[in-house]
Amino acid sequence: MASTSTYAPSREDFAALLDESYGQNEAFEGSVIKGIVVAIEKDVAVVDLGLKTEGRVALKEFQGPGREGPPKVGDEVEVYLERIENALGEAVISRDKARREESWVKLEKAFEKQEKVEGIIFNQVKGGFTVDLDGAVAFLPRSQVDIRPIRDVTPLMQVPQPFQILKMDRRRGNIVVSRRTVLEESRAEQRHEIVANLEEGQVIEGMVKNITDYGAFVDLGGIDGLLHVTDIAWRRVNHPTEVLTIGQTVRVKIIKINHETHRISLGMKQLLEDPWQGIEAKYPVNARFQGRVTNITDYGAFVELEPGIEGLIHVSEMSWTKKNVHPGKIVATSQEVDVQVLEVDPVKRRISLGLKQTLANPWESFAEKFPIGSEVEGEVKNKTEFGLFIGLDGDVDGMVHLSDLDWKKPGEQAIEDYKKGDIVKAKVLDVDIEKERISLGVKQLASDPFAAKPSEGAAGKTGEDASDLKKGSVVTCEVLDVKDGGIDVKIVGSDFTAFVKRNELARDRADQRPERFAVGEKVDARITLFDRRARKVSVSIKALEVAEEKEAIAQYGSADSGASLGDILGAALRAREETPKKKSSDE
């Protein structure tokens, strides 16, 4: 029997055998290798890796959006080798990881070159969607789905389409993609090509795509142009829907093209004749026309004189008398009104109109009806720190200044006698039509007590007047009121009143007592102040007594005559009493 020798392979021999078994595949753990499907068992595929062992892959790893579908026996597939042999003696392999590994390599190259990649939106998550990029799962933020926000993304799901990679982090396994960037790039290319074929002044047709408050967007065949509301018609258009509807075909003129932003401004009214040509001859200044109120604002009302021609009635030109009133309380939208042309500016395309100019000027009417010096009557509309405002005929107001309220009282004191709503009579002092002012006076209804009057005969005199009164005159006064500090008196036969202070009540201090006097009592006094300009009059009993004493001493004796002061004053008093008796007998 021939002997056989046993040979124990060394570690090197095993490595050589393993290399031979692997062949050219150089299969190591953590890499992608190729294998042959040798069997399908329920929900797994058995794959021969050529490693004298087999691995199992779940069939679901071959399924999904954009995948080739479940394999058949004999198909060659790529798998990711995690471990060469597990506890059961089988290789641990994964089709998902193989696809993901392949995909990451391709995606990194595309990201570096900023190339687009193809993917499928297959699920919705918080804040966006998940996209399958041939095995790698990427996140698509909701803001990156489309150029404009879209409510329903269902038509975009499960459909292969291009995406742009915005961010990649292999360590964390994060990929962020954008569909919007691809659309914007495609749109920009398309817009650039279309804009290159357009030029300003060109007239083209388009379709109204969208309408907003400020205008309409017109599709010019792949690019939108803005038709502003002010360029739809020469007349005022409050809202584009008054003229346009979505889907309507319109002829427009290209007004401006911005080649950097690809923005196009369009106009419809530019295709019509400009109604502002020769506007000055058509609407001369001071001419009157009839128009229709089209719009009311805080500062006035717009009136259409003809289609495309509007003028503004400023709030200050709406009424002669209604100030600080909203224009809506004077005119109404669609109301027909008569207006007068105040100014025409063809460059700025503005016409200033006046409404009040077509009505009678109430100040002119008042001046004709009530010339200066006329007496009027009206209600106190307002009290101010400088006077009263009185409502007059013709819906105008007149003002009574403080200085024109009373001859004798200070204005600040006299105005307290009036309240809002009182009916007051006054005299017209002045009417300024240009400044729209009427000056009135209440005190002018009575004569000026300080005015000098022509002297009358003795038989015609009923009392004192301003011509008789002067500083130093002796007058008789009637006591009107007794106060602690003195007495109020009225000069008999006149309208003058005065206040006699305590120290002016008598020459002797002992007699300077207000209680000595009674209301209604007559007393003689001397005028110590009579100022016509300041309209002030002051009287003093003390001054009269001192003056009489000096006069008596001068006429009836002196300090050196030996006569007593009582004798002198007694003689003066008797002489004074006899004088009126003699005068009476002479008459």
CATH of the domain at 244: 2.40.50.140
Task: Report the distance separating Cα 188 and Cα 194, nearest Å.
Answer: 10
Let me know if residue 9 belongs to a domain.
no
pLDDT of residue 6: 46
Domain boundary among 141, 164, 185: 185
Task: Report the distance separating Cα 19 and Cα 134, nearest Å.
Answer: 32
Let me know if residue 4 belongs to a domain.
no
Let me know if residue 580 belongs to a domain.
no
pLDDT of residue 459: 32
For residues 88 and 133, membership in a common domain is answered with: no
Domain boundary among 219, 237, 271: 271
For residues 265 and 287, membership in a common domain is answered with: no
Task: Report the distance separating Cα 276 and Cα 272, nearest Å.
Answer: 12
Q: Do 414 and 405 touch, CB atoms closer than 8 A?
A: yes
pLDDT of residue 457: 37
Say which DSSP state 10 is in: -
Domain boundary among 51, 84, 112: 112
> What pTM was estimated for this model as a whole?
0.44
pLDDT tens digits, 438-448: 999 998 888 77
Let me know if residue 568 belongs to a domain.
no
The count of domains in the chain is: 6
Q: Point out which residues pair with 535 in neighbouring strands.
A: none
Domain that holds residue 509: 473-552
N- to C-terminal Cα separation, the chain: 204
Let me know if residue 155 belongs to a domain.
yes
Query: Rounded to the nearest 5°, which phi and psi values hold at 109?
Result: -65, -40
For residues 492 and 524, membership in a common domain is answered with: yes
Q: Which amino acid type is present at position 465?
A: D
For residues 108 and 118, membership in a common domain is answered with: no
pLDDT tens digits, 273-314: 888 888 889 999 999 999 999 999 999 999 999 888 999 999
Query: Rounded to the nearest 5°, which phi and psi values hold at 6?
Result: -85, 140
Q: Please report, to the nearest 10 degrees, the dihedral formed by the alpha carbons of residues 185, 191, 194, 196 taken in order.
A: -90
- From the list 486, 574, 553, the residue with the least C-alpha distance to 523 is 486
Let me know if residue 297 belongs to a domain.
yes
Task: Report the distance separating Cα 311 and Cα 522, nearest Å.
Answer: 76
Task: Report the distance separating Cα 195 and Cα 199, nearest Å.
Answer: 8
| Strand 350-354 with 309-314, pairing | parallel
Task: Report the distance separating Cα 33 and Cα 360, nearest Å.
Answer: 104
- CB-neighbour burial class of residue 301 (10 A; exposed 0-12, middle 13-18, buried 19+): buried
Task: Report the distance separating Cα 495 and Cα 477, nearest Å.
Answer: 11
For residues 296 and 243, membership in a common domain is answered with: no
Per-residue pLDDT tens digits of the chain, which is 587 residues long: 444 444 455 556 555 554 554 444 444 565 666 777 777 777 777 776 666 666 676 666 666 555 566 777 777 776 666 666 655 556 666 556 666 666 777 788 888 888 888 889 988 888 899 988 877 788 999 888 887 777 788 888 888 889 988 888 877 778 899 988 888 777 777 777 777 778 888 898 989 989 999 999 998 877 788 999 989 988 888 899 989 999 999 999 988 988 777 788 999 988 888 888 888 899 999 999 999 999 999 999 999 998 889 999 999 999 988 888 899 999 999 999 999 999 999 888 899 999 999 988 898 889 889 999 999 999 999 999 889 999 998 889 999 998 888 877 778 888 888 999 999 999 999 999 888 899 999 988 887 766 655 444 333 333 455 556 788 889 999 999 999 999 999 888 877 888 899 999 998 888 899 999 999 999 999 999 887 777 788 999 999 999 888 877 776 555 454 445 555 555 555 655 555 544 444 44
Let me know if residue 456 belongs to a domain.
no
pLDDT of residue 583: 42
For residues 230 and 291, membership in a common domain is answered with: no
Work out the angle at residue 189's Cα, subtended by the Cα atoms of residues 183 and 191, and round it to the nearest 5 degrees: 95
Task: Report the distance separating Cα 547 and Cα 375, nearest Å.
Answer: 47
Radius of gyration of the chain (CA): 57
For residues 481 and 530, membership in a common domain is answered with: yes
For residues 106 and 123, membership in a common domain is answered with: no
| Strand 224-228 with 263-267, pairing | parallel
Let me know if residue 37 belongs to a domain.
yes
Strands, E, within 87-178: which ranges?
A: 92-94, 116-125, 128-133, 136-141, 161-169, 174-178
Q: Point out which residues pair with 16 in neighbouring strands.
A: none
Length of the chain: 587
For residues 352 and 366, membership in a common domain is answered with: no
pLDDT of residue 27: 45
Query: Rounded to the nearest 5°, which phi and psi values hold at 521?
Result: -70, 145
Q: Which residue carries 């817009």 as its tokens?
A: 191
